[in-house]
A = this chain, B = another copy of it.
Amino acid sequence: PKIVTLPGDGIGPEVTAAAVAVLREVAPDVTIEEHLIGGVAYDTHGDPFPQVTRDALKDADAVLLGTVGGAQDSAWNLLPRHLRPESGLLALRKALGCYANLRPVRVQPGLEHLSPLKAELARGVDILIVRELLGGVYFDGDRKIDGDTAYNTMRYTTPEVERVARVAFWAAEQRKGRVTSVDKANVLEVSELWRRDVTALRDREYRGVHLNHEYVDSVAMLIVSDPSRYDVIVTENLFGDILSDLAAVIPGSLGLMPSASLGDGSGLFEPIHGSAPDIAGKGMANPAAAIMSAGMLLRHGLKRPEGANQIDRAVALALREHPTRDLGGKADTQTFTRAVLSALE
């Protein structure tokens, strides 16, 4: 199998290198091809998602992404919107047809103390957030800034809702069998469609799954004050962006959050943290999320659950014995990566 890595900007290259080292160990038969995305791609090719990268994806079995984007005051942010690093990421998601972004939020036993939440609330949390990734206000073409007015359009169609809801129901069947669909149906027509279509799909095809609906403002509260009430959460793109970053605080560091984006073609696997330009190049970034994303790549992209489990176990061990700085420990990127490598059975 062939994997394309897109290290991207900031700490992306460091954490991707760590993930690649682990991947090579666990899946030595895999071919790895590296390409450019984001700001570095713009600097080289004048395009944050250049054609050469696009072409390389055609026969890839899975894509491992680092991070994209610069500091708020970076020169990239002065470019026209379609040339900025983030637009490269959005174009990549679109090109791969990755409509379902899976973000597991798990508090590892023994690591409850890292959470900003009281330990008794953090303990045992195990939520899967399924975020719709190709629709809503992110991609709708009906958008404009013009003089003193601007707008974006939050749009969904039934097929878009159904395909991501299917992923959530399927995941719930492997887990505790409960899906919470999140919307703002008391205010938005687009949420009314979302709620109607998710409900209809459950009634038609997933009767064994328990489905409930909650408002996004309420979920924002409940996910931090009573996280254990959730199993699978499914929601639209913007709400999912906010809620999944929010949920990421529960384990205590963004550095512990991998993600998998699945859809029509090859999957996209990436840590959910940003490019952290302030610490880029210093060798101190926590590569755990990138390494765990490589684990998700093995599980969902290459269908090698044994390899994925091996990685998850090794990361858990390394986290306990060599915590990185963001976790209050001392390990730098290299020390942590070595710890993972030597913990692989």
* 0/1 string, A175-204, CB within 8 A of B gives 1: 000000000101111101110010000000
In the complex, which residues of chain B have a beta carbon less than 8 angstroms from the beta carbon of A123?
none
In the complex, which residues of chain B have a beta carbon less than 8 angstroms from the beta carbon of A188?
137, 143, 152
Count of chain A residues near B, Cβ 8 A:
59
In the complex, which residues of chain B have a beta carbon less than 8 angstroms from the beta carbon of A189?
81, 143-145, 150-152
Residue of B nearest to A162 (CB): B148
In the complex, which residues of chain B have a beta carbon less than 8 angstroms from the beta carbon of A184?
238, 241
> A44 on the interface (CB 8 Å rule)?
no
Question: Which 6 A-B pairs have CB atoms at the shortest separation, nearest pair first?
Answer: A148-B158, A150-B193, A151-B155, A220-B246, A217-B245, A145-B189
With A and B bound together, what is the CA distance between A242 and B144 in angstroms? 24
Cβ of A100 to closest chain B Cβ, rounded Å: 18
Known: A151-B153, A221-B254. 9 other contacts (CB 8 A): A144-B189, A145-B192, A148-B159, A148-B197, A151-B190, A216-B241, A217-B241, A220-B220, A221-B248
In the complex, which residues of chain B have a beta carbon less than 8 angstroms from the beta carbon of A149?
155-158, 193
* 0/1 string, A239-275, CB within 8 A of B gives 1: 1011111101100001000000000000000000010
Question: Which of A113-121, A311-319, A337-345 contacts the other chain?
Answer: A113-121
> A154 on the interface (CB 8 Å rule)?
yes
A186–B86 CB distance below 8 A? yes
In the complex, which residues of chain B have a beta carbon less than 8 angstroms from the beta carbon of A137?
154, 187-188
Contact of A245 among B84, B140, B218 (CB under 8 A): B218
In the complex, which residues of chain B have a beta carbon less than 8 angstroms from the beta carbon of A274?
218
Q: A residues within 8 Å of B by Cβ?
A: 69, 72, 81, 84, 86, 90, 116-118, 121, 137-138, 140, 142-145, 148-159, 184, 186-190, 192-194, 197, 213, 216-218, 220-221, 224-225, 238-239, 241-246, 248-249, 254, 274
With A and B bound together, what is the CA distance between A157 and B184 in angstroms? 23
Given A187-B86, A221-B249: A148 in contact with B152 (beta carbons within 8 A): no
B156–A69 CB distance below 8 A? no
Question: Can you report 27 residue pairs joining A to B where beta carbons are below 8 Å apart?
Answer: A81-B189, A116-B118, A140-B151, A142-B151, A143-B190, A145-B189, A145-B190, A148-B193, A149-B155, A150-B156, A150-B190, A150-B192, A150-B193, A151-B154, A152-B154, A152-B189, A152-B190, A153-B153, A184-B238, A216-B242, A217-B241, A220-B220, A220-B242, A220-B243, A221-B249, A224-B224, A224-B249
Cβ of A13 to closest chain B Cβ, rounded Å: 21
In the complex, which residues of chain B have a beta carbon less than 8 angstroms from the beta carbon of A193?
145, 148-150
In the complex, which residues of chain B have a beta carbon less than 8 angstroms from the beta carbon of A239?
242
In the complex, which residues of chain B have a beta carbon less than 8 angstroms from the beta carbon of A221?
245-246, 248-249, 254
Cβ of A252 to closest chain B Cβ, rounded Å: 8
In the complex, which residues of chain B have a beta carbon less than 8 angstroms from the beta carbon of A145?
189-190, 192-193
In the complex, which residues of chain B have a beta carbon less than 8 angstroms from the beta carbon of A216?
241-242
In the complex, which residues of chain B have a beta carbon less than 8 angstroms from the beta carbon of A190?
143, 145, 150-152
Contact of A224 among B157, B158, B246 (CB under 8 A): B246
